[in-house]
Amino acid sequence: MKTFWRITKLVGEYRWLMAAGFALALVQLGLSLTIPAITRQVINKALIGGDHRLLIVYGVTLIGVGVVRLGASVGRRMTTGKVSLGVEYDLRNRVWDHLLRQPFGYFDRWQTGQLMSRVVADISNVRMFLGYGLIFFTTNLFQMGAVTVLLFLLNWKLAIIALAFFPVLLGVALRFSRQLHPVLRDVQQKIADVTTVAEENVTGSRIVKIFAREEDELAKFSERSTAVFDASISAARLRAFYIPLIGFLPSIAVAVLLWYGGRQVIGGHLSLGSLVAFYSYLMMLVYPAQMLGWLTGLAQRAIASGERVYEILDAPLEMTESADARPLADPRGAVHFESVSFAYPGRPVLVDVDLDVPAGKTLALVGHTGCGKTTLTNLIPRFYDVSGGRVLVDGEDVRALTFASLRAHIGIVNQDPFLFSATIAENIRFGRPEATDAEVHEAAGRAQAAAFIDFLPEGYDTIIGERGLTLSGGQRQRIAIARALVMNPRILILDDATSSVDVETEFKIRAALAEVMRGRTTFIIAHRPSTISLAEEIVVLDHGRIVERGTHAELIAGDTLYSRMFGRAEAASCTLDVVDVEEVV
């Protein structure tokens, strides 16, 4: 019930529209309640009484009631529809805003398909209930209450007999609700599993084809789809039993009414018009009772989906700005790691790292895969928070700075850059939307991307495919470099930024980077000696600790881990990452 009340509170911002919708629904209900009363008068006074002029009067009255009911119905659907769509819009933005504020660590624990299912399908289920189920449920309660009163006013003995079945009906509806809820939650979870597999197969379609795993992935997808089918069959089985049962029970009341009421009419104790009116009112009571099954299913699906949505919203932000966070003023780019330790869940990565990098210095981080190079640079823009120690930029603890001001001065180029399905110009100016065309072209030129961009049919207005897969790896990387450069950052992080380019292009990019890095604090994570040579100083990490630091000449000359890695790599004509560090120690 807690989730149910939380869902209903979502309409708070639209309370006046919702109130208008309820008012129109009540007008529609009130007019509907007059129709059996008018019908009673038509039978008793016009037909049996023989006053044929009343047929025209009551006929015009019924048409007028119908026209007003039509207007009220249209207005109610318009207002409640706007409320439900507004709630869906607000809730989806609220969930997305919450997700965007979560740090990297949060997404490390979630599958993309699970999140997408909650943001799309589950929120739509909540909207369906708020737009249709909630107002139907409420107006049906009003209708059942009003009709019950009218039945007793018409004939209290007949009302008692006709309403005797309602406790049984309510008991069946409640049992249906309790059994359906866990089944529908399981359905939603399994739908999310299917979404996850589908998302992975679409984004990883090339890998699937490269390794000829189409049949295996189809089997995996089919297995997840079968799980959805089985869970949905369980829900359908419950509906197949309970909804017809809920629809059948009122028929007993109708049969009793016709038997007992008919005898009353024949005996002269009840007028025919009153019996017809009583029957009409009973039908108005039966319809909401029959709707209980549908409304129960709709509500349970919304509650199950609401629980999944609130699982996201209730998750605390794992990384927030402090209340007194301040902007990074007059950034220079000096970075200091003070006794820094960091661990992923169950896996320590950095241990007691002390490193001072003056503003404008270029530093290369070298070491075997998994030694903590990328993690160390991810602590600078505060993608993760340290487990121990501090990271300082220009003498300020990054936890005391606003995210926007800190990250606005840090440019990052990853090994596998992500590009959006947009124009090349939009991708380059992504981190600085106000950048002029001249600045975009200049950044592309420095990244050695201008030549191939000019060769494209639409130039900088060329729309690239999803994730930039219509471009080569080297082209994507050069656009990513231009995207970082257009920000004019004080701190530049190059995480294996030249790994996907050919030797000639790498030479051109290195020449450009040498100019770009001048005056900026730059961290180079690389495995190619040619890229490492751009650094003024080299830091060697091993199992999360800094084990060596110095210039290339200093480190290569001694009996160091760095010299053994380089010697082995050069002898094997391969990159540093190919060599097992433990073998060469």
Tokens in use for 550? 């110095």
193: in domain:
yes
How much is the pLDDT for 68? 92
Condensed to tens digits (0 to 9), the pLDDT of residues 357-389 reads 998 888 989 888 778 888 899 999 888 888 899
Residue of 26 and 526 predicted with greater confidence: 26
Tell me: pLDDT of 577 over 70. Answer: no
Residues 306 and 439 in one domain: no
In whole angstroms, what is the distance from residue 20 CA to residue 76 CA?
A: 8
Residue 157 lies in a domain: yes
**Tens-digit pLDDT profile for residues 483-497:** 888 888 889 888 876
CA of 288: how far to CAs of 29, 141, 146, 421, in Å?
Answer: 12, 8, 12, 49
Instruction: Say yes or no: 92 and 240 in one domain.
Output: yes
Tokens matching residue 118: 């909650």
Identify the pLDDT of residue 67. Answer: 92
Dist. CA 267–CA 505, nearest whole Å:
103
Nearest partner of 123 among 309, 326, 348, 294, judged by Cα: 309
CA separation for the pair 289, 384 (Å, rounded): 55
CA distance 84 to 69: 22
Instruction: Check residue 349 and give its pLDDT.
Output: 87
How much is the CA Rg of the chain, to the nearest whole Å?
35
Q: Determine, yes or no, domain membership for 361.
A: no
pLDDT of 1 reads: 67
Other beta carbons less than 10 A from residue 526's beta carbon:
25
Whether 420 and 292 map to the same domain: the answer is no
pLDDT, mean over the chain: 80
Q: Is it the case that residue 307 has pLDDT exceeding 80?
A: yes
Q: What's the Cα-to-Cα distance from 276 to each of 63, 165, 250, rounded to whole Å?
A: 19, 20, 17
CA dist., res. 105 & res. 112, Å (int): 14
Q: Are residues 304 and 421 in the same domain?
A: no
Tell me if 496 is assigned to some domain: no
Task: Look up the pTM and report it.
Answer: 0.66
Does residue 540 sit within a domain? no
- Compute CA distances 523 → 166, 226, 378, 484, 513, whole Å: 74, 49, 11, 13, 12
For residues 51 and 198, membership in a common domain is answered with yes
Examine residue 551 and state whether it is found in any structural domain, yes or no. no
3-state secondary structure of 372: coil
Mean predicted confidence (pLDDT) in 145-149: 86
Query: Is residue 75 in some structural domain?
Result: yes
Domain boundary among 439, 470, 488: 488
Range of the domain at 476: 415-488
Q: Domain boundary at 285, 313, 341, which?
A: 313
Predicted confidence band at 505 (pLDDT cuts at 50, 70, 90)?
A: low
Residues 424 and 280 in one domain: no
Last residue of a domain, one of 281, 313, 345: 313
pLDDT of 145: 84
Residue 32 lies in a domain: yes
Residue 47 sits in a domain whose CATH number is 1.20.1560.10
Task: Please tell me the predicted confidence (pLDDT) of residue 569.
Answer: 54
The percent of residues in the chain predicted with pLDDT above 90, rounded, is 5
Q: Are 409 and 333 in contact (CB under 8 A)?
A: yes
What integer pLDDT is reported at residue 354 of this predicted model? Answer: 92
- Residue 269 has a pLDDT of 78
State the maximum Cα–Cα separation within the chain, in Å, rounded to a whole number: 121
- Could you tell me which residue, 47 or 57, shows the higher pLDDT? 57
Residue 336 pLDDT more than 90? yes
Question: What confidence tier does 270 reach under pLDDT thresholds 50, 70, 90?
Answer: confident
Q: Is 343 helix (H, G, I), strand (E, B) or coil?
A: strand
Q: What is the pLDDT of residues 74-124, one digit of tens each?
A: 988 888 888 888 888 888 888 888 888 887 777 777 777 777 778 877 888
What region, left, alpha or beta, does residue 366 occupy, with left being phi > 0 and alpha being psi -120 to 50 degrees?
beta
Whether pLDDT at 48 is above 70:
yes
Please state whether beta strands 335-344 and 347-357 pair in parallel, antiparallel, or not at all (unpaired): antiparallel
Average pLDDT over residues 268-297: 76
Output the domain CATH number for residue 477: 3.40.50.300
Given a contact cutoff of 8 angstroms between Cβ atoms, the answer to whether 558 and 577 are in contact is: no
**450 — pLDDT class (breaks 50, 70, 90):** confident
Per-residue pLDDT tens over the stretch 528-561:
777 787 788 899 888 888 888 888 888 877 777 8
Greatest mean pLDDT among 177-181, 261-265, 429-433: 429-433
Q: Which of 494, 469, 491, 490 is nearest to 480 (CA)?
A: 494
More confident residue, 538 or 13: 538
Name the CA dihedral angle for 108, 112, 118, 119, rounded to a multiple of 10 degrees: 100
Which helix (H) or strand (E) element contains residue 338? Answer: strand 335-344
Confidence of residue 583 (pLDDT cuts 50, 70, 90): very low
How far apart, in whole angstroms, are the C-alpha atoms of residue 124 and residue 312?
16
What are the φ and ψ backbone dihedral angles of 397, each rounded to 5 degrees?
A: -60, 130
* pLDDT attached to residue 580: 39
Residue 341 confidence class, pLDDT cut points 50, 70, 90: very high
Burial class of residue 349 in the structure, from the number of CB atoms within 10 Å of its CB (0-12 exposed, 13-18 middle, 19+ buried): buried
The string of pLDDT tens digits covering residues 172-229 is 877 877 787 788 778 877 877 787 777 667 666 656 665 667 787 788 878 888 888 8
The arithmetic mean of pLDDT across residues 128-136, rounded, is 79
Higher pLDDT, 265 or 567: 265
Q: Looking at the 3D structure of the chain, how many domains does it have?
A: 2
